[in-house]
Amino acid sequence: AAPHASPHPQANGDDHEPRVEVTIPRIQIWVTSEFFTLWSTSAGHGIQIPYRTISLHARQQNALYLQLCLSDISQTADDDLETVELLLTPEPQGDSDPTDAAEKLFTAVSNCADLHPDPDEDDDQEQEQEPEPGTGGWITSENIQDFMDENGEFRMPEGGILGAGAGTVRTADQFEDADAGDEV
């Protein structure tokens, strides 16, 4: 594969710095469950990239595009994030279509990235509270007692609001008039 990288980190949306494009031939790519690894056989050096560092991955024609976030997301404002972009163009195997190799690489990275969800997503899910019964769902025979007072009268849950048309009483004639108006 021949990756292209912008070696100078740029702030998100910071277009006034010139981009530097570098082509590094003969890179070995290893996609494992823990790291995305790039190894230069000619230089004898490589880098292991944790999947949480990969903020974006996508197919771009016959290449894999990666955006790496070099900043601590929890401590940095979105406008100040430093990123590096890589464009990895795998060499096709034999007579295969060049996009096949890129698709296989993209699929492997996607599958491994799914093994490492964003830790912030877990925090958001833990902070969500159970909705009040009836406020976001149905009142059923199983939960109707939660909406009745001691006299058997229906009571609205605290803080719940009714939608448009709630409490409107219509006669059968109004429904018949509405149906007649729908005819073409």
Contacts of 4 (CB under 8 A, 6+ apart): 21, 22, 23, 86, 87, 88, 89
Q: In angstroms, rounded to a whole number, what is the distance separating the alpha carbons of residues 23 and 3?
A: 6
User: How long is the chain?
Assistant: 184
pLDDT digits (tens, 9 = 90+) for 117-131: 876 655 555 556 655
The confidence band for 151, taking pLDDT boundaries of 50, 70 and 90, is confident
The confidence band for 30, taking pLDDT boundaries of 50, 70 and 90, is very high
- Percent pLDDT > 90 in the chain is 25
Identity of the highest mean pLDDT range in 47-61, 77-91, 141-155, 159-173: 47-61
Q: Given CATH 3.40.50.720, say whether it is the number of domain 2-116.
A: no
Burial 56-73 (b: 16+ CB within 10 A, else e): ebeeeebbbbbbbbebee
pLDDT digits (tens, 9 = 90+) for 72-113: 777 777 777 788 899 999 887 777 787 888 999 999 999 999
Identity of the highest mean pLDDT range in 28-32, 139-143, 149-153, 161-165: 28-32
What pLDDT shows up at residue 78? 72
Q: In angstroms, rounded to a whole number, what is the distance separating the alpha carbons of residues 36 and 13?
A: 25
- Does the pTM exceed 0.85? no
Q: In angstroms, rounded to a whole number, what is the distance separating the alpha carbons of residues 132 and 143?
A: 11
Other beta carbons within 10 Å of 1: 19
Residue ranges covered by each domain of the chain? 2-116, 131-178
Instruction: Give 43: exposed, middle or buried? Use CB within 10 Å, 0-12, 13-18, 19+.
Output: exposed
User: Does residue 35 have a pLDDT over 90?
Assistant: yes
